Amino acid sequence: MAIPKLQAYALPESHDIPKNKVDWAFEPQRAALLIHDMQDYFVSFWGENCPMMAQVIANIAALRDYCKQHNIPVYYTAQPKEQSDEDRALLNDMWGPGLTRSPEQQKVVDRLTPDADDTVLVKWRYSAFHRSPLEQMLKESGRNQLIITGVYAHIGCMTTATDAFMRDIKPFMVADALADFSRDEHLMSLKYVAGRSGRVVMTEELLPAPIPASKAALREVILPLLDESDEPFDDDNLIDYGLDSVRMMALAARWRKVHGDIDFVMLAKNPTIDAWWKLLSREVK
């Protein structure tokens, strides 16, 4: 009845994306980001230090950073730690008491902690729209596209995508920023949404060109990712300025699309703008 212990699997890649029935263009000025149920409780079923989940979180973090830079609103869903039997209703039959047995795991995972200007919606059922002001908030802000990330792909994420479609809100399911009980169920959710209720994309499709054109452009990419108000010099260690491992992993994933040898270890070995520009400005082979 409860969620089982989950095993990591290979996340979908570009060649796994099913044929989309619609070709909606992503419009940042019309979009909002949904980070769905990324609470300690739901993520804990993969155990600690799961590489697959680290990559999913890094991809979500990259999308969130992009949204922050482009004034795209960010929404979270989170189940409350206290839920009466009346509130849970049939969820008790299907999943048991769920998160209410582990209230200490109610918060969103540390690496995706909501900012003060983000909206956290109380989650009651599979769809993020159920008993929430999400539809009204989107429409009042002129947003009719919803980027969907989080867990679990074939349950809440797929249901939210379909519910969005029925409310004339275009869902964009981000294949490699989702996780599920299994790869088969993950791919099933993508196939359903691509053919019935939305568009399935990869993280990289929603982000700008992966490689900055100059060292100055690289600096513009890095500065919003830092916690410190002071700007680093080109040879300063970026970790000292608050650059964390999740954002570094997201950068590595983006830049690896052009330079296949770039990985997290390479960036972490010498985390400076000078060193990274030297890596990025190499001739592509």
- Which domains are seen in the chain, by residue range? 25-206 (3.40.50.850), 215-280 (1.10.1200.10)
Q: Measured between alpha carbons, how far is residue 258 from residues 17, 171, 179, 219, 285 in Å? A: 20, 28, 25, 18, 9
Q: Active-site residue among 65, 118, 123, 170?
A: 123
123 is catalytic: yes
Exposed e or buried b for every residue in 176-195, given b needs 16+ CB within 10 A? bbbbbbebeebbbbbebbbe
Q: Active-site residue among 37, 65, 118, 163?
A: 37
SS3 178: strand
Contact indicator for 186, 76 with CB cutoff of 8 Å: no
36 is catalytic: yes
Each of the 285 residues of the chain gets a pLDDT tens digit; together they read 578 899 999 999 989 999 999 999 999 999 999 999 999 999 999 999 999 999 999 999 999 999 998 999 999 999 998 788 888 889 888 888 778 788 799 999 999 999 999 999 999 999 999 999 999 999 999 999 999 999 999 999 999 999 999 999 999 999 999 999 999 999 999 999 999 999 999 998 898 767 888 899 899 889 888 887 789 999 999 999 999 998 898 899 888 878 889 999 999 999 999 999 999 999 876
CA distance linking residue 96 with residue 104, whole number of Å:
17
Q: Is the pTM of this model over 0.85?
A: no
Give me the long-range contacts of 163-167 (CB less than 8 A, separation at least 24).
163/127, 163/128, 163/129, 163/130, 164/129, 164/197, 164/198, 165/196, 165/197, 165/198, 166/197, 167/129, 167/135
If you compute the radius of gyration of the chain from its CA atoms, what whole number of angstroms results?
Answer: 19
Q: Active-site residue among 16, 19, 21, 36?
A: 36
- What would the two tokens of residue 104 be? 């200490």
